[in-house]
Structure 1
């Protein structure tokens, strides 16, 4: 017969379990019951690109946005991270290099109290980027599948002639500038070329094929090991039917080294003069937005220009990160889990968050991350944790048809509170999609998992970042 002490302990543990489930079941506003099948990757494209559009009062260009590993992609990538640990590694590498780039101009490669010490390279890691758009380049327009990146400025594609030793293999034909009636290399002495030098993107000058003109060279080295260089060029860019940018500056790449991403190139959406939003500011006001789909089998959008009516958005102030001109920074002020605000001193958020669609996982300073992890684990106490050397929060949902997940909300400057999508804006492969960025006050990152289903509006004129829920 069991002892009274054993029965007492059993009742306390079982009572705690029941209270957790009861709280989840009765508070519909704070917890969400989701099917475990939603965590599984789908092999069929679930959304038609014609059905996912931003608000109808937008006057700019709209482009379908897809996950590069998903079934909706024209040429799905084959280099999908094999595990949450690999995705986390890629995310940390990218974060380290963004910090290194920002500090490069200040004559140091040591990041925030010596946490990271790496060579300072230009650009950021492309291995972590997950979303692509298809645009038309040249006349006649040739489709190009490009990685979308708010952490880069200069856009580029691989150009013919380029053999297999100089360029990585891609599924689409290489863009051939010789077949376009609107292609022109940018002269080396032009102001446009000089702007590359000022942003450390220049690569000297070279003569064209007939030796009559000195061409502007570009070079970018990314944190993930990819290097790209070629001729900085001028071309017509077709964003959507009837939406053509006549003089778009991009890199025509003839020499690649490093990562093999299977895509045709990269689309830079940062804040420096070489980016697409800045180049098209006369047409679209410098503003843009995107919505990342909740799952890789869904479809989102990239839109240039702000809607005429922004009443559906909540805005928080946005600034440049350390005046590097590329990255966008916002200030986090609070976090809630399961409807309960966590007790976190606001001063620990002083470093801000870099808003980075190319970073998979969000990075938080030590105290906010520890508080979030503790509260999330308490709310998910009914489910077994998977042991982790990195102390990640990953669950084994084997045998469960449904799980109850707490809502997580982020509050930004101005009292803007954003509810993350559940489960896809909180969990990645059954793991809490947050990690530690460093000590309190250290700069963090708002990753693309947390952006899912939100329309993220980068309002250049208002200097703010807008959030609109349930946009895709």
Structure 2
């Protein structure tokens, strides 16, 4: 606990300036709506992360990413094959300060859920410090069952009930034995990356946000920042129609520019594809091209059918690995093997469940330096172009593997397609909930600094 607290203090020292909130805009509740919310994102493996372990080897980090990916995708499934308890979220985390005393919390960024929640005292489990104490915050107010719309069940993504003190209790079950339980409340949040190196002096105070105050959870984290599109999300509460994030290559553990932007000024990119929102964010994959070779995939497998709730590729911020349906995965793997040919020696030692991962001996940055660009074409001719850094992951000092998994083998026969965060690296990613468009653009995230200043 002491080590975690010291590391959190180390992070806190990076950001300690503020600007007052801009009250010029009003949301549909009548509250002040900040024009744009910007905060740094920290990856689980980053040297700035409270989870950072300098003794972890390449193999350790690779296993953490693999287990975390399988666990997170399994959380989409009610009765998953793969279970981890207690679990730790292993993607990107956002800085959010909470309450009157602005207690800094590092919340897991999750596009697959909506409620923003954090741990509260008294808490029944071993969880990361610091833990928020509602009793010392004058801006904390528990939601009253008789007065709260949220306690009336307007958001079907979690359960609500009234306790003996007439407070609104919530219960979220994520599917993979993961849960968060506590009370709903309104609280003041301070959101901002105030490091001068990143965004100069900029932070925003957001008042009267309905949040979850967790008293028990199975997830080893400060909490979760849900970016889903249901009534409980920060996006909906403040009528934001856009959010975006920029992810650098997180194998560089000292990279400081990963960024989350929430606001209607979020840049609209030209390379966009229609998005379907049904609990999660879905896009339609049309084709895959490895160099000059077009794979013979069936685009109907990747097309979302909103009537049957089937198909489509989930855009996921919590899984490092991407997932393809079994048949299409086999074609993709065959295409990769065809390009590599006999130039590298294959390793068969890396297995997960009944799946032998596609792995080779060597250093992917050296041995795959001339690997051709792979293009994932989505509906509306939106091309996501990626290189070896997004396709593969180094699993030991002398081996690397394809960072994709076949869905049916891994997930109880379920047919899933998932665009993981490794595939989103090196891009500015934009979600437009008004136009229902998902767009992306290759970018070094330090360039976002100038964009934010232009918009403020």
Name the TM-score, length of structure 2 as normaliser: 0.75
List per-residue Cα deviations over 1:230-263 (Å, max 9, x = no partner). 111100111124412111111111223x34x2x3
Task: Using the TM superposition, give the Cα deviation of residue 88 of structure 1 relative to its aligned residue in structure 2, in angstroms.
Answer: 3.6
Counterpart for residue 130 of structure 1: 91
- 1:432 is displaced (CA, Å) by 1.0
Task: Give the Cα separation in 2 of the matches to 1:222 and 1:348.
Answer: 25
Deviation sequence 1:73-126 (CA, Å, 0-9, x none): 2553799883646644443343343143xxxxxxxx7xxxxxx6899xxxx996
Structure 2 unaligned spans of 5+: 1-10, 17-33, 193-201, 304-310, 395-399, 446-456
Distance (whole Å) between structure 2 residues aligned to residue 264 and residue 413 of structure 1:
37
Structure 1 pair 365–91 and aligned structure 2 pair: CA distance change class (3 A): same
Match of residue 294 from structure 1: 249
Of 255, 261, 281, the residue aligned with 1:328 is 281
The aligned residue for residue 151 of structure 2 is 194
2:273 maps to 1:316: yes
Contact 1:425/1:450, CA 8 A, preserved across alignment: yes
Partners in 2 of 1:125 and 1:196 — Cα distance? 28
Which residue of the other structure, out of 85, 98, 104, is the alignment partner of 1:143?
104
SS in 2 for 1:274: coil
Larger radius of gyration: 1
Structure 1 counterpart of 2:226, from 268, 289, 302 = 268
| Distance change >3 Å, CA 137–CA 369, structure 1 → 2 | same
Secondary structure, counterpart of 2:135 in structure 1: helix
| Corresponding residue of 2:332 | 372
For residues 365 and 154 of structure 2, the distance between their equivalents in structure 1, rounded to whole angstroms, comes to 57
1:363 maps to which residue?
A: 323
Taking a change above 3 Å as real, the CA distance of residues 92 and 466 of structure 1, as seen in their structure-2 partners, is same
* 1-structure distance, mates of 2:277, 2:40: 27
Q: Secondary structure at the match of 1:320?
A: strand
3-state secondary structure, aligned to 1:425: helix
Residue matched to 1:23: none
Q: 1:410, CA displacement in angstroms?
A: 0.6
Rate the CA distance shift 1:82–1:204 in 2: closer, same or farther, 3 A. same
Matched residue, 1:227: 179
> Which residue of structure 2 lines up, in the alignment, with residue 53 of structure 1?
none
The answer to whether the 8 Å contact 1:84/1:431 transfers is: no
Q: Which runs of 5+ in 1 are unaligned?
A: 1-44, 51-57, 101-108, 110-115, 209-213
Q: 2:44 aligns with which of 59, 63, 68?
A: 68
Map of 2:23 onto structure 1:
none
RMSD, aligned CA: 3.2
- 3-state SS in 2 of match to 1:328: strand
1:161-200 CA-to-partner distances (Å, cap 9, x unmatched) read 33xxx12231x32111122121100001234333547526
How far off its partner does 1:455 sit? 1.3
Aligned residues, how many?
380
- Report the TM-score, using the length of structure 1 for normalisation: 0.72
Residue 5 of structure 1 aligns with which residue? Answer: none
CA contact (8 A) 2:242 2:265 kept: no
- After superposition, the Cα gap between the structure-2 partners of 1:352 and 1:315, relative to the gap in structure 1 and judged at 3 Å, is same
